[in-house]
Structure 1
Amino acid sequence: MGLLWAMQPDRPFWRLVKRDVQTPLQVELEVLDDREPHEPAGPEPEPQESAGPEGGRVLARAVHERHFMAAGVRRVPVREGRVRATLFLPPGPGPFPGIIDLFGVGGGLLEYRASLLAGKGFAVMALAYYNYDDLPKDMKLLHLEYFVEAMNYLLRHPQVKGPGIGLLGTSKGGQICLSMAAFLKGITAAVIINGSVANAGGTLCYKDETLPPLGFNRNRLKIAEDGIANTLDTLNSPLEGPDQKSFIPVERSDTTFLFLVGQDDQSWKSEFYANEASKRLEAHGKEKPQIISYPDTGHNIEPPYFPLSKVAMHQLWKCLVTFGGETRAHAIAQVDAWKQLQIFFRKHLCGTKDLSPAKL
């Protein structure tokens, strides 16, 4: 699969994202003959119609298809009350363990992870929460009541197994998952991928409680000669001064947590946040969360074999930022993280402790 995870974008700083999961991702593979004319060529290959994009005669060509919806998986658009989402249901009558899937500050509605996970036997709701359809255009103010509506829709669905659900969140989505687990009931298990235990990026409200955004200092933004910024040190510590009010009260939660951490995350201090969440939970007599840390792994931990997105435009900072990660190590981490989150959800949502790797 190295031909896939090692791919580079045609345009600098682009990230590979599958928007339409109902069609396969097609990758055209070519073998080129770029030998010098004086080199021995061996048997003359069959004539080809064109030269490759890098020059040289095309010796062979094939199209590799990656499907995002397994046979029998159903895609159900959701527009219920304020909720804007897509629900993916596995084949069969169910009921299936339910999971809400949340991404980060890019906003919109991303379905590729939910569709893949539904093929593993989970009913997964890809949930938009801003910058999509008629939802708010920014994250300056988020109300947890919106996420309560989404939870209720999922739990009422006849093909979703209760009494609790799972949460899967990356970056800002992981932060929202921690907030949901802290303030809401009915969440059995949550996987946090490079999330923050402090509320960052906007104000969070639930009923009569408010978490202010974590403070930051733009002067701590480090900009390299190529213009790419590093945001790692920009946010304040949630352990000091007035910024302690931004700390998400995870100690209220009875949810079981798995933190997946990239140790080379250059977006924010994910490993520090995971450890602080663990300390707070243990100090209040709650179950110690599982933390899996991956060396040389950056911020965007995707499903297996997605190419590393190391630099991209950041929605909040409005500039190119580095997300960290070394290509090979990051690819290996993505394969393991995909396996670990499935094992975790099967154990805590289905009661299954043993799972054959072949089923992952």
Structure 2
Amino acid sequence: MRSSQMKLLRCGAGIRRLHRAGMAVRLWLEPGAQCLFDEPVRVRAAGLRPLQPVTLRAALSDEKGQAFGSAALYRADERGELDLSRSPALGGHYTGTEPMGLFWSLSPAAPFARMVKRDVTASPLRVRIEVLAGHWSGDPRELPAQPLASCVNERWFMRDGVARVPVRDGRVRGVLFVPPGNGLFPGVIDIYGSVGGLVEHRASLLANHGFLVLALGYFGYDDLPKNFLKLDLEYFEEAVNFLRRHPKVKGPGVGAIGISKGGDLVLSMTTFLPHVIAGVSIGGCNANTLGHLHYKDITLTGLSASLDRIKFLESNLVDISEVMDNPQDEANKESIIPLEKAEGHFLFVIGEDDKNWNTPLYAHQAVERLKENGKNNYELLSYPDAGHLLEPPYFPFCYSSFHRLMGCPVLWGGQMKPHSLAQIDLWPRIQAFLRKHLENQSKL
């Protein structure tokens, strides 16, 4: 974000006021109308009648034009004020005192939509917030002609001074996010799953917190392979060495973070590549999945699957949670990642209601394997009622969306509130884990 854009607009900025019977209804954000995407804001209103029932509504459109909205019912206090950090929601998309509820409860207007932010540099995601008179039922026919007041929150992905640098080095393809200053910064490789291409939002947000991050493509991007059915770990080793050579990276080891298929790749990287010393696997598997993985004279076969276990639901939606076979079945012994060989540390993150595959089982098997081999180089975070797609804070909850590999919408699992609160809790824990192992390392 440019410095002029990062100037936080204080008390009253972006506020629309409507005068009714001499009363000015005000709606504003603290500390200001602009912030980074993973930062909370305080939503406040004043000028309402004492104990007046109102509805707060939020809306945004992502860069693909997909619309998301949320609404919650509130009642002003005796002074005619609302403060979402203290005022409980009485109904709507959520209940209770949830300061950021309007943001994490944003829901897609169209079925099977997942919020997308591909371009993290050009513009923020803009969330429009309105306060409406009365408790709105959600029926468009009952919507007031105009809100009592409104404001816009601009949520940016890059702090002022963070550099985005495209990477084409040897075979390595991706984008570097470099924090401002001379460093040295902890180096991290960021990998997503079967969505393919290059996903940058998590990498850019980590860079805002002082990590030098390589968002790494490995298929479906630039001149990389079109699919992930035959990957070699040497490619990821090249990316590790590229990152280690950066003059602002604190070495000699780096970290890696991955979700879904990216999660098992991170486990393999931490196991086989000695300079990956901290690996975060979000919703990953303890076995290699979706095609073979080769490294030198080693091959991890792909975990077997049974497509006849797909459950077909209404509206062309499918449940694939039971498709993958058990990694500990005899037929899959060549797919299991030998985690006990790793000298680095693991952070396993699981949503207990993951409907993509059986993440709790995979994490349990991984931990048992490490324990059986006398290893304690792991941490495990488990979130009840959270699904597969655990993203940075305030990303709208995605229960189902189009799956590139399946070619149709699939369930991801989870329930909105616990999943969203899990994302808020998880984010600083990921950063703490990476800092713990990357900032005070000795030479390998």
TM-score greater than 0.5 by the shorter chain: yes
2:286 paired with 1:286: no
Deviation at 1:60, TM superposition (A): 2.3
Q: Tell me if the contact between 2:250 and 2:439 (Cα under 8 Å) persists in the aligned partners.
A: no
Which structure dedicates a bigger proportion of its chain to strand? 2
Partner of 2:316, secondary structure, is coil
Output the CA distance in 2 between the equivalents of 1:15 and 1:53: 28
1:304 to 387, 393, 413: 393
Residue 28 in structure 1 maps to residue 128 in structure 2? yes
Instruction: Give 1:56's aligned amino acid.
Output: A
2:352 aligned with 1:263, yes or no?
yes
* Equivalent of residue 206 in structure 2, options 108, 112, 117: 117
Is the counterpart of residue 70 in structure 1 residue 159 in structure 2?
Answer: yes
Report SS of the residue matched to 1:306: coil
Check conservation: 2:344, 2:377, Cα contact below 8 A.
Answer: no
- Aligned partners of 2:192 and 2:335: how far apart in 1? 20
Q: How does 1:317-328 map to 2 (within 5 A)?
A: 317-328=406-417
Q: Supply the AA of the counterpart residue of 2:110.
A: R
Partner of 1:9: 108
1:52, CA displacement in angstroms?
11
Point out the structure with max Rg over C-alpha. Answer: 2
Shift in CA distance, 280/53, structure 1 to aligned 2, threshold 3 Å: farther
Q: In the alignment, is the contact (CA less than 8 A) between 2:158 and 2:205 conserved in 1?
A: yes
**How has the CA–CA distance of structure 1 residues 32 and 159 changed in structure 2, closer, same or farther, with 3 Å as cutoff?**
same
Aligned pairs (5 A) from 1:184-199: 184-199=273-288
Gap change, CA 1:119 and 1:317, over 3 Å in 2: same
1:235 is aligned to 2:335: no
The one-letter amino acid paired with 1:324 is G
Whole-angstrom CA distance in 2 between matches of 1:325 and 1:125:
29
Q: Secondary structure at the match of 2:237?
A: helix
State the distance in 2 between where 1:270 and 1:25 align: 31
Partners of 1:278 and 1:288 within 8 A in 2: no
More off after superposition, 128-137 vs 223-232 = 223-232
Amino acid at match of 2:185: F
Give the Å deviation of 1:59: 2.8
Q: CA deviation at 1:148?
A: 0.9
Give a deviation string over 1:99-130, Cα, whole Å, max 9, x none. 00111100111111111111111111111111
Instruction: Give how far 1:286 is off.
Output: 2.0
Give the match for residue 292 of structure 2: 203
Equivalent residues in 2 for 1:1-360 (5 A)? 1-22=100-121, 23-33=123-133, 56-351=145-440
Give the letter aligned to residue 187 of structure 1. Answer: V
Q: CA deviation at 1:208?
A: 1.6
Alpha-carbon deviation of 1:203? Answer: 1.1
Conservation of the 8 A alpha-carbon contact between 1:183 and 1:252: yes
- Flag the 1:288–1:158 CA change in 2: closer, same or farther, 3 A: closer
- In structure 2, the CA distance between the partners of 1:249 and 1:35, relative to structure 1 (3 Å rule), is closer
Residues 214-259 of structure 1: CA deviation (Å, up to 9, x unaligned): 1111111111233321111111111112211111111111111111
State TM-score, norm by structure 1: 0.90
| SS of structure 2 residue aligned to 1:317 | coil
RMSD: 1.9
TM-score (norm 2): 0.73
Structure 2 residue runs without a partner (length 5+): 1-99
What displacement does 1:281 show? 1.5
Mapped to 2, the partners of 1:68 and 1:254 lie a distance apart of 33
8 Å CA contact 2:197–2:219 kept in 1: the answer is yes
**Cα deviation 1:276-306 (Å, max 9, x = unaligned):** 1111122222224111100100000000010
What is the rounded CA distance, in whole Å, between the counterparts of 1:104 and 1:140 in structure 2?
A: 13
Structure 1 residue 89: Cα displacement: 1.2
Q: Percent same amino acid among aligned pairs?
A: 49
Aligned residue pair count:
338
SS, match of residue 334 in structure 2: helix
Aligned partners of 1:76, 1:149: CA distance in 2, in Å?
A: 17
- Structure 1: state its 5+ residue gaps: 37-50, 353-360
How far did 1:189 drift?
Answer: 0.8
The 2-side partners of 1:53 and 1:186 are apart by 60
Structure 2: distance between partners of 1:25 and 1:319: 27
The structure whose RCO (Cα within 8 Å, separation 6+) is larger is 1
Question: For residue 20 of structure 1, what is the amino acid of its counterpart?
Answer: D
